[in-house]
Amino acid sequence: MVRSGNSSVDSSSASHRRTPSRTVTLGHIQPQAPSYRTVYCNDRDSNMPVRFKGNSISTTKYNVFTFLPKGLFEQFRRIANIYFLGISCLSMTPISPVSPITNVAPLSMVLLVSLIKEAFEDWKRFQNDMSINNTTVEILQDQQWVPIPWRKLQVGDIVKIKQDAFFPADILFLSSTNPDGICYVETANLDGETNLKIRKALERTWDYLVPEKAAEFKGEIQCEQPNNSLYTFTGNLVVQKQTLPLSPDQLLLRGCSLRNTEYIVGAVVFTGHETKVMMNAMNAPSKRSTLEKKLDKLIITIFCVLITMCLIGAIGCSIVTDREDLYLGLQKSDWEYRNRLAIGFFTFFTLITLFSSIIPISLYVSIEMIKFIQSTQFINRDLNMYHAETNTPASARTSNLNEELGQVEYIFSDKTGTLTRNLMEFFKCSIGGISYGCGVTEIERGIAQRNGLKVHEEERSTGAIREKGFNFDDPRLMRGAWRNEPNPDLCKELFRCLAICHTVLPEGDESPEKIVYQAASPDEAALVTAAKNFGFFFYRRTPTMVYVRESHVEKMGKIQDVTYEILNVLEFNSTRKRQSVVCRYPDGRLVLYCKGADNVIFERLADGMDDVRKVTREHLEHFGSSGLRTLCLAYRDLDPETYNSWNEKFIQAKSALRDREKKLDEVAELIEKDLTLIGSTAIEDKLQEGVPNCIETLSRAGIKIWVLTGDKMETAINIAYACNLINNDMKQFIISSETDAIREAEERGEQVEIARVIKEEVKNELRKSLEEAQLYMHTVAGPKLALVIDGKCLMYALDPSLRVTLLSLSLNCTSVVCCRVSPLQKAQVTSLVRKGAKKITLSIGDGANDVSMIQAAHVGIGISGMEGMQAVMASDFAIAQFRFLTDLLLVHGRWSYLRICKVVMYFFYKNLTFTLTQFWFTFRTGFSGQRFYDDWFQSLYNVFFTALPVIVLGLFEKDVSASLSKRYPELYREGIRDSFFKWRVVAVWAASAVYQSLVCYLFVTTSSFGAINSSGKIFGLWDVSTLVFTCLVIAVNVRILLMSNSITRWHYITVGGSILAWLVFAFIYCGITTPRDRNENVYFVIYVLMSTFYFYFTLVLVPVVSLLGDFVFQGVERWFFPYDYQIVQEIHRHESDASKADHLEIENELTPQEARSYAISQLPRELSKHTGFAFDSPGYESFFASQLGVYAPQKAWDVARRASMRSRPKVPKKK
């Protein structure tokens, strides 16, 4: 039972308390409901019984005790490692013909290398954790600020955070040195956005700033349990029996930093792993490449071949072994003396250990090494994918998917910021049914070009203003001329709506020229900049006031500062698609300003606005067809009674602990109605450089591109036209919810009826379009097809009953455009093609709304652009511009796919060739399991004598140069068809292995019958096997040169080095003997062999004959059945490889500034797979920069990476 002492909380709040898991009688703890937590501020004793988590964080995978068991468990999740563990165990039994070292040594080496890598990575994580946990923060103890390490911070502590410091935990904001209890926060660590956010303390707690006053604070926080939602927080603060609602505005999250504020005081709410950022810090879903999955199937096939070989040997042994043969010396007690079944059974396992090398143990390690070097040295350092303007190189955030880039068939792209620049400019507007704004957009130029028309550029008027975010030209509105328009009052309302209804923060001097707007999105900044240029200059904000300098309102030329009181803000979210503010004018007038998507605003207009609505809709369609992004603006005058009764409901909803968001949306609906339409705005978002050419090139490569955007259908279609995604020659299927039948149903307003009508319409349209598409597909020269569908129709088309029809239609189309789609729908469409069509997909986006789509595809690409870093953090590869996809896919993707395929095939071939020589030998030994090779030969064949050339092949193999890869994008189709990893290719390599093993084995064994050494003795088993092994090592290594399209000095070094390594090893190994090894078999063998002419003759003849088959096959294939790349090689065979020159030329063309930027971008840095602050490693960039003599200026994200560093004295920057 819990006894409450002198409780300071009224009984109404008792229902929100959480019951501790055990009975306590300490202090004034009360039972707490399980879904909420109660925190007692400034009172550690009261918080003690609940046992909140500490603030120490750990991001390591292992500790001292778990490293070995957990590390080994990770390694043995690979099927090949389990196989070799089994073989190693078998080789320790009496039935094994080979020494345990043969299998244990390679396995141990592979495991050791992998474990050292894991340990090294974890040690770096541990060091990083320690530097974070030992950072100091000041907390309140005995009426003074005392510094303590972050790890000792507890829930309920009162902390002081200084300017530019990072928040050590999730903190309730109590007071600030800024007036009106506000502070500015940078959230770059959470979402990559460097613009500042405003946070506001409750007025009741503003006084708790100095330690003496803060010590008096004894509040009680009742709030939600720890969760990973970064943008929501519900709770109440109970101070002296007064309950105050808390919102995300009062919560300062761990990992964010304090800006433009001397210091703040707050109370700790969530600590350590319960903070929101830590609960978000999870790895992106683990992705395996399609080729890797196929590799598993190949290894299972090889295993089946092994079983077959062993069965043949076991059956053969049981038939051949005659128990009556006295020379075998069988005793009654020997296992061989039992029945034939027992003989076969034991022989089977003997042969498994003997043939175990058929599965290559070093395959996975080699492939990992090759992929890692491909990522870090080739993709990350490619100057063709370096963006000098933003100093951003390409970044491979994982090396698992390199070859997947060479097989992509479908690309799903976001529009804004991915195809376009996300640099918004206010371009046109419509006020009271009149359209304003001259000028021609890029899209309009593109449309005119397609139609063969010439675009005449209108000269800009003399008073036109051009600045970042504003590219509007119309003398009717500029410099106060709007006063002479037919609707000056509506013009005034539009400008005020732009200046008041937003969440923008002004920074810098309060003058129009020097002010900088910190906005959550470029659209917001463009609208506020437009208001400034129209004469309504927003220059200051407090939590309750907006200050606007208005020009020409009362009379031309008059400027006055007006203060608007912000009473309520109804925030924008993806379901509401609108934002509203309720403000009070200085004269007491109450106005609601609302801006949002056209369909949302039109639904909420007052009666009698049909004419304006109709004209504005036409303007919107015209703006949309010009590729502009549109918003509608409206207002409503409120009387005090209506407002006061609504405000009571709003406060109740804001204080609700359950379903607060839902209740706030419901309350907003009550006031956002009967609106008066002011007009609309149109913002231009220009296309990125090189997008149309890139899309055309990718289309020629056989890649189908889908655009998934939240924009209106007209805008999306016109962007698609401008990008060369759709053209007039295509047959377009448009499935839209803007049909008469759907409009009629929506006007009737019955939700069930609307759903039924839309589903029926979508079903009929899909079926009709699919029939038409199939008709076109059967014609010889039918047009290409394109599908355009909007979000509302897509919602019903993704229904299980219609999904197959949608997929069938989509797969027949060259281009698909989905507009008005939500982030979830983007992911659903991607999954539909990935799982339904079993095609390899790639998603590319730049914003937080693209994360689910990026993670749903086989390969996710983030554009490091204007919308923060969330897309990049969730991606597998990051690039700065859409056009870099050409190099990433057609060059690096193709090469990686070709290289990995060749590496896998070569591994399969060399191991099969080696094992088959042993297999042919079993026929001569009566299937007894006698080993052909020495144990050490078998152990080191994979690890040393054939290991390096294949890695060089995987790194430097190139069928055609980078420039030719882009000049002939059709070459990419070989990857889509998976031409280099078909079972037919596997069969060819298997045939080659069979042929070469027979040549090596039969030539040597047959000819050696009559061969004698210098002392006149005939060759024994170990002489023959060593000679066969030598021929095999030479043939297998030289085969690399035969299969390479481009041979470098590294090929010669590694091939020659591997053969030389074998000969050196043989000299040393055959020259020594110790009493306790099995080496006596091959003692002096190589010296005996090298004393005969036969050895040298065989060494030349056998590899030549064994490789002759491959040479002839490759010649016939190239002449009569060439691959596409071989045709291109023949066309350009007299041209030198220009790829190196390309890189050098680009390097030389860089300006000194660009060269320095590139040098900085290539500095070593700590890469993190995680997205949270706690996981970000300290930035070592400046250290490496100083070492290399490069000056590296700090960037917001560099500062963010240094979050974990202890505070150091600032070093003045060099001029």
Catalytic residues, by residue number, are: 414
**Tokens representing residue 857 in the block:** 């595809």
For tokens 């592979």, the residue is 110
Contact 702, 784 (CB under 8 A): no
* Cα angle value 955/956/957 (rounded, 5°): 105
How far is the C-alpha of 1069 from the C-alpha of 1064, rounded, in Å? 9
| Phi and psi based region of residue 353 (left: phi greater than 0; alpha: psi -120 to 50; beta: remaining) | alpha
Q: CB under 8 Å to 356, separation ≥6 — which residues?
A: 84, 87, 91, 103, 306
Q: How many angstroms separate the Cα of 701 from the Cα of each of 694, 695, 781, 817?
A: 11, 10, 19, 19
Q: How many angstroms separate the Cα of 947 from the Cα of each of 203, 952, 1034?
A: 71, 9, 13
- How far apart, in Å, do the first and last CA atoms of the chain sit? 69
How far is the C-alpha of 651 from the C-alpha of 647, rounded, in Å? 6
Give start and end residues of each alpha helix (H) in 475-517: 488-500
**Tokens representing residue 1163 in the block:** 């500095």
**Single-letter residue type at 409:** E
* Cα angle value 74/75/80 (rounded, 5°): 135
Contact 171, 161 (CB under 8 A): yes
Q: Mind giving me the DSSP string for 590-647?
A: EEEEEEE-HHHHHTTBPTT-HHHHHHHHHHHHHHHHTTEEEEEEEEEEE-HHHHHHHH
Burial class of 332 by CB neighbour count within 10 A (0 to 12, 13 to 18, 19+): exposed
**Tokens representing residue 55 in the block:** 């603030």
| Helices 894-924 + 948-956 axis angle, to 10 | 150
How far is the C-alpha of 873 from the C-alpha of 850, rounded, in Å? 11
Burial class of 1068 by CB neighbour count within 10 A (0 to 12, 13 to 18, 19+): exposed
**Single-letter residue type at 82:** I
**Tokens representing residue 129 in the block:** 């954790």
Q: Mind giving me the DSSP string for 35-57?
A: TEEEEETT-HHHHGGG----S--
**Tokens representing residue 222 in the block:** 């009742």
**Which residues in 725-807 belong to E strands, given as ranges?**
731-735, 785-790
How far is the C-alpha of 1067 from the C-alpha of 1074, rounded, in Å? 16
Q: Mind giving me the DSSP string for 439-480?
A: ---HHHHHHHHHTTPPPPPPPPPTT---BTTB----TTTGGG
How far is the C-alpha of 442 from the C-alpha of 623, rounded, in Å? 12
Q: How many CB atoms are closer than 10 A to CB 1059?
A: 19
1160 alpha-carbon distance from chain centroid: 23
Which among 120, 121, 123, 276 has a CA at the least distance from the CA of 1168? 121
* Residue 733: strand, helix, or coil: strand
Which among 252, 53, 256, 265 has a CA at the least distance from the CA of 138? 265
**Single-letter residue type at 722:** A
Q: Mind giving me the DSSP string for 232-258?
A: ---EEEEETTEEEEE-GGGEE-TT-EE
How far is the C-alpha of 891 from the C-alpha of 837, rounded, in Å? 26
Q: How many CB atoms are closer than 10 A to CB 546?
A: 22
